[in-house]
Structure 1
Amino acid sequence: MRGFFFNTISHILLLAISCIFLLPACTAPAANKTLIVQQKHRSAPANNLSSKPTTKLQRDSFCIAAVGDIMLGTSYPDSSTLPPDDARNSFKAVTPDLKNTDIAFGNLEGALADTGAPANFKMHQRSKPYLFRMPTRYASVLKNAGFNLLSLANNHINDFDARGRKSTTTTLDSLAINYAGLLTKPSTVFELNGIKYGFCSFAPNANTVSIHDLKGAQRIISELKQRCDIVMVSFHGGGEGVDFEHVPFTLETFIGEKRGDVYAFAHNAIDAGADLVFGNGPHVNRAMEIYNGRLIAYSLGNFCTYKSVSVSGICGMAPLLKVYVNKQGKFLSGRIISFSQAHDKGLVRDTLNQAARRISMLTGTDFPDGGLNITDDGNITAISGFTNSLTKVTPPASISEVKNVNLQP
């Protein structure tokens, strides 16, 4: 009996001692859980090659930067139309903003070539510096600035014919800069940081993918969306100059050339699966809108164009558009960073935010139901609860009819 009592007491004591030692492990699940989460975001130790993170860090937004026309100077007819610094400082003011993005996009207005005569159909322009042949070494300027995506769909890619187009694509390939827009390269697909991007570009010009063929564009875009997470589309369209700031909601012509119905094209692109649509061509800025949760920028104007392109007045307003989207390409937010350019100063930050204010005014005028709010300092947000209006808005006959606008010329 005494032995039974002794054994019982011994078991109780052992059980109590065990609970004392086990108690911290049972009462601190939160601390252990926190440690595991922190480890997930650490790199594997350098001396333990078999160690791997327990999970992949997921991002919920991606930043695409977009600008308008880029033409860094032309070596035709001679070097007098090349910048004195050999274009090295062309993007000095904006490089930090370009590099702090996933994608940096622009429209390359001209050919990258060191030699070659103008295309036969442009021979009549021999005496004018409107034929854009940038030295191939200038491609490194683009690369170093952060550009990793360019549109070649525009009228100046043909300035030096097939030889100029071939030199351009070979040069960009050598630097791993993505591009599209030629009949020989309608689209491109590439992957960055686990996200697959698709890009295509359109214009009304020879040897480029046609902006007029909406069904063809729809086919290209829908095929890209089946393969990619985020699909970006660029177009070169609309009239040129200060008289063409407004989206006219119809087919545009300029100097007898059909330049596309950019409104119909952009909406068709979104319907086909595009997540972002960036317009260029008018050499001035145009409005923006949200359509089916996706952003359309109808023209980003000039951005960095040395000589040969007018940058006076509103043509010198140079916006850098930053758009934040989720993995499905849906618009989250955006920002317009305003720059300006002059032929004697190049590209500089505009503390007056004139490009942002101008685009805000144009957006409110052309797309009052376009679903966007753009502040004077350039922040872009979607208006919750809105529905796109399909009513075509008639823009004012002149800028003087727009009230409360006080912009420097």
Structure 2
Amino acid sequence: MQKTLLFVSIFVLSYSIQAQKYSKEAIDSMYSITKITQEKLKTPEFIKVMAVGDIMMGTDFPNNSYLPPDGKGPFDDVNEILTQADLLFGNLEGTLTDEGKNAKSCSDPSKCYSFRSPERFGKYLEETGFDVMSIANNHIGDFGAKGIKNTAKTLEKHNIAYAGIFAQPSTIFEKNGITYGFCAFAPNKDCIKIHDLKNAKKIVTELKEKADIVIVSFHGGAEGHKHTHVPRKTERFYGEDRGNVYLFAHTMIDAGADIILGHGPHVSRAFEVYNNKFIAYSLGNFCTYSRFNLTGIKGYAPIAEIEIDKEGNFIKGKLHSAKQIDEIYPFMDKNKKALFEIKRLTEEDFPESQLIFNDDGSFFQQKE
């Protein structure tokens, strides 16, 4: 009898241990399934990318008279729009450094356009929600290697991804369950070259293997109000080869890029949709305090809102019109001049894209 009871006790104990084991395995399995489901739910079906052009929030070179007065943030009057982005991009037109000597040869410093924004201004970019910035442009080297290094450190301090210099041609980062690859190009000496299509294709192809969405930025094209159109050929300005931005954009998309964001001409240019991918050929000036000519169309400051799917295909967009006046940070433009300028240029330069713009700024591709 005692042996029988002992056997029964051992059997019950063994069953209880196995039941606990299977229960734990079941719980672990359910937890794993729940976690995967939550991750899928967290990943957005559509992504709202916002992009703006040149940003130079003020410079202390050659003196502090080119810095804004304390108290007002650079993006205070446009934050209501910018903070709605799932991903926010801008071009940093200059440096963020408290150190470094002017690298340009200027007999009169007051006429030397070198931009040195204080490192403390990095907080404005973070507070507004900039996720990624291009530093590939003709002003990143204004204060030499020290200025480039400090700019990179400042952006890192404020959790902003960046690319476009020799030390960092590209970058990969994650947000809301989406992995982004980003690279940036320019014709200038301190930057990854826009002219080297072979190298640019290699960078984009490698990013595409690792990232869900690949974004390419370029600083290129001739400058000023006479150069609002995309000529579909190499552009030269002051004797410098500024790249063939049309060929560059199409080549990058063919290599795997999902969005192309251009800047450099200091004026707005057309939008295009090529193979279901969005291209902005120039987003002009956006937040450029003093030292910039902001008359007429140079003061238009478009905010491009692009909705894409998880494969990077263009779904729809909205163009928010802001503007600038010298020594006044960007503010929303009730007359929507940036919208009407880009609408006109897009219809003239890329009618094949069949982009339809509405008066509220929304736009979409009319497909046959």
TM category (shorter chain) comes to 0.7 to 0.9
1:95 corresponds to which residue? 79
Aligned-pair Cα RMSD in Å: 1.7
Q: Is the 8 A contact 1:357 1:377 kept in 2?
A: no
1-structure distance, mates of 2:308, 2:48: 7
2:96 corresponds to which residue? 112
Report the 3-state secondary structure (helix = DSSP H, G, I; strand = E; otherwise coil) of the residue aligned with 1:220. helix
2-structure distance, mates of 1:51, 1:240: 54
The reply on whether 1:189 has 2:205 as its aligned counterpart is: no
1:73 corresponds to which residue? 58
Q: Deviations over 1:3-36 (max 9, x none)?
A: xxxxxxxxxxxxxxxxxxxxxxxxxxxxxxxxxx
Q: Is the 8 A contact 1:65 1:98 kept in 2?
A: yes
Instruction: Go from structure 1 to structure 2 and tell me whether the alpha carbon gap of 1:234 and 1:53 turns closer, same or farther (over 3 Å shift).
Output: closer
Percentage of matched positions with identical amino acids: 48
Question: Which structure 2 residue ranges, 5 or more long, are not aligned?
Answer: 1-30
Q: What is the CA-CA distance between 1:252 and the residue it aligns to?
A: 0.4
Instruction: Go from structure 1 to structure 2 and tell me whether the alpha carbon gap of 1:51 and 1:327 turns closer, same or farther (over 3 Å shift).
Output: closer
Which of 142, 153, 161 aligns to 2:136? It is 153
Q: What is the CA-CA distance between 1:97 and the residue it aligns to?
A: 1.6
Q: What is the CA-CA distance between 1:290 and the residue it aligns to?
A: 0.6
1:280 corresponds to which residue? 263
2-structure distance, mates of 1:51, 1:226: 27
The reply on whether 1:301 has 2:313 as its aligned counterpart is: no
Which of 147, 154, 166 aligns to 2:149? It is 166
Q: Deviations over 1:354-392 (max 9, x none)?
A: 10110000000111112311223311101213xxxxxxx
Q: Which has the greater radius of gyration?
A: 1
Instruction: Go from structure 1 to structure 2 and tell me whether the alpha carbon gap of 1:89 and 1:268 turns closer, same or farther (over 3 Å shift).
Output: same
Q: Deviations over 1:106-144 (max 9, x none)?
A: 00000111132111x444462325110000000101111
Q: Is the 8 A contact 1:360 1:375 kept in 2?
A: no
Q: What is the CA-CA distance between 1:202 and the residue it aligns to?
A: 0.2
Q: What is the CA-CA distance between 1:85 and the residue it aligns to?
A: 2.4
Q: What is the CA-CA distance between 1:273 and the residue it aligns to?
A: 0.4
Q: Is the 8 A contact 2:353 2:365 kept in 1?
A: no
2:44 corresponds to which residue? 59
What code does the residue aligned with 2:170 have?
S
1-structure distance, mates of 2:183, 2:32: 41
Q: Is the 8 A contact 2:289 2:327 kept in 1?
A: no
2:312 corresponds to which residue? 329
2-structure distance, mates of 1:236, 1:323: 20
The higher-RCO structure (CA 8 Å, 6+ apart) is 2
1:213-232 aligned within 5 A:
213-232=196-215
Q: Is the 8 A contact 2:234 2:244 kept in 1?
A: yes
1:17-56 aligned within 5 A:
52=34, 55-56=37-38
1:203 corresponds to which residue? 186
2:9 corresponds to which residue? none
What code does the residue aligned with 2:278 have?
L
What code does the residue aligned with 2:365 have?
A
Report the 3-state secondary structure (helix = DSSP H, G, I; strand = E; otherwise coil) of the residue aligned with 1:328. coil
Q: Deviations over 1:307-336 (max 9, x none)?
A: 101111000010000101011100011100
The reply on whether 1:176 has 2:155 as its aligned counterpart is: no
Report the 3-state secondary structure (helix = DSSP H, G, I; strand = E; otherwise coil) of the residue aligned with 1:158. coil
What code does the residue aligned with 2:50 have?
A
1-structure distance, mates of 2:325, 2:225: 17
Q: What is the CA-CA distance between 1:94 and the residue it aligns to?
A: 1.4
2-structure distance, mates of 1:349, 1:98: 11
1-structure distance, mates of 2:127, 2:350: 37
Q: Is the 8 A contact 1:95 1:146 kept in 2?
A: no
Q: Is the 8 A contact 1:125 1:131 kept in 2?
A: no
What code does the residue aligned with 2:359 have?
D
2-structure distance, mates of 1:229, 1:125: 48
Report how many aligned residue pairs link the two structures: 335
Range with greater deviation from structure 2 (353-362 or 367-376): 367-376
The reply on whether 1:316 has 2:323 as its aligned counterpart is: no
Range with greater deviation from structure 2 (222-231 or 122-131): 122-131
2-structure distance, mates of 1:125, 1:100: 43
Instruction: Go from structure 1 to structure 2 and tell me whether the alpha carbon gap of 1:51 and 1:254 turns closer, same or farther (over 3 Å shift).
Output: closer
2-structure distance, mates of 1:201, 1:258: 17
State TM-score, norm by structure 2: 0.88
Q: Is the 8 A contact 2:306 2:316 kept in 1?
A: yes
Q: Which runs of 4+ in 1 moved over 3 A?
A: 49-54, 121-125
1-structure distance, mates of 2:32, 2:211: 32
Q: What is the CA-CA distance between 1:55 and the residue it aligns to?
A: 2.4
Which of 240, 248, 252 aligns to 2:235? It is 252
Q: Deviations over 1:177-215 (max 9, x none)?
A: 100000110000001111100000000001200000011
Which of 204, 214, 236 aligns to 2:219? It is 236
